[in-house]
Amino acid sequence: MSRTAVYTALILRNRPSGESNSEVTLLTAEEGIVKATVFGGAKSKLRSHSAPYNSGKIWIYRDPSKDYRKINDFDVQSWRAGLRELYERTMAAGGIADTILSTHGGGGDWRLAQELALFTLDTLEDADEELCLRLLVHFLWRWTGFLGIQPHLETCAACGETADSSPLYFNVKDGATVCSRCTAGDSPQINSSFLQLNPGCRRWLSAARYTEPSQIYRYSMDNKSFGEAKALVTAVLSEALGKRLASWDW
């Protein structure tokens, strides 16, 4: 039985290990999150090939007796050098990678998880400063759908009323969206458990649910609505993870 496996992989993280090696964390379509070692110093071809956000076919040797894996070869099909040319692109890409790692690659359909990440990173590579943060929020919103924790925003969860032109309020603790009359006597304006979602925010999120990253620039949104969308998606993920990732805020 061969000890070398071939993966379709996206590099999420590359960290030094020892004096000249590095530990690489990948999202693979075949096995989810995989960690492997790259041997060699700064001049090693594999060292440069295994930079974060590169993707392609990778050959990994596994030694079961020592329980370690090492990268033997990597055919990089996309380098995404543009992600390292602008601060906002780098930060957004880092937020995507941290989210994937913190949720263990989504824990299920790894090929779809990889596609969600690749499509966003490809668009992010040429994005301007303003679009970068919106692409991150768009990815986080679609990731909540992938994880099965995306809240319903169209109607009040308590009375079923549709609030087309009125705010709805997302209860972070209960994970439900309610209208102002169904907030159980609480004032959503002063209760931190409620996040206000105005119509502009809800329309953007409803469209973003089915919109590919390359088309998200078509949907404009004012700063207030964008702030509401970012607060919602990060609150939903924070509740699921039990923590808030620092890479979401920059």
Tens of pLDDT along 49-83?
999 999 999 999 998 887 789 999 999 999 999 99
pLDDT of residue 185: 59
pLDDT of residue 38: 94
Mean pLDDT of 214-228: 95
pLDDT of residue 19: 81
For residue 199, the tally of other CB atoms under 10 A from its CB is: 14
Least confident piece of the model among 1-5, 28-32, 67-71, 91-95: 1-5
* Nearest alpha carbon to residue 128 among 88, 95, 93: 88
**What tokens appear for 249 in the block?**
């805020």
DSSP string, 109-169: -HHHHHHHHHHHHHHHTT--HHHHHHHHHHHHHHHHHHHT-PPP-SB-TTT--B-SSS-EE
For the packed helices 87-102 and 110-124, what is the interaxial angle rounded to 10 degrees? 170
Q: For residue 215, give the 3-state DSSP assignment.
A: helix
Over residues 35-51, the pLDDT tens digits come to 999 997 667 889 889 99
Q: How far apart are CA 247 and CA 250, in angstroms?
A: 7
- Whether 38 and 30 have beta carbons less than 8 Å apart is answered as no
Over residues 173-193, the pLDDT tens digits come to 889 999 988 886 555 554 568
Amino acid at site 144: T
Q: What is the DSSP letter of 54?
A: -
pLDDT of residue 186: 58
Q: Of residues 184 and 208, which shows the higher confidence score?
A: 208
**How much is the mean pLDDT over the chain?**
92
Q: In what order do the strands lie in the sheet with 176-178?
A: 176-178, 168-171, 194-197
Q: How far apart are CA 101 and CA 91, in angstroms?
A: 15
pLDDT of residue 190: 45
Amino acid at site 223: N
pLDDT of residue 42: 66
Q: How far apart are CA 35 and CA 60, in angstroms?
A: 10
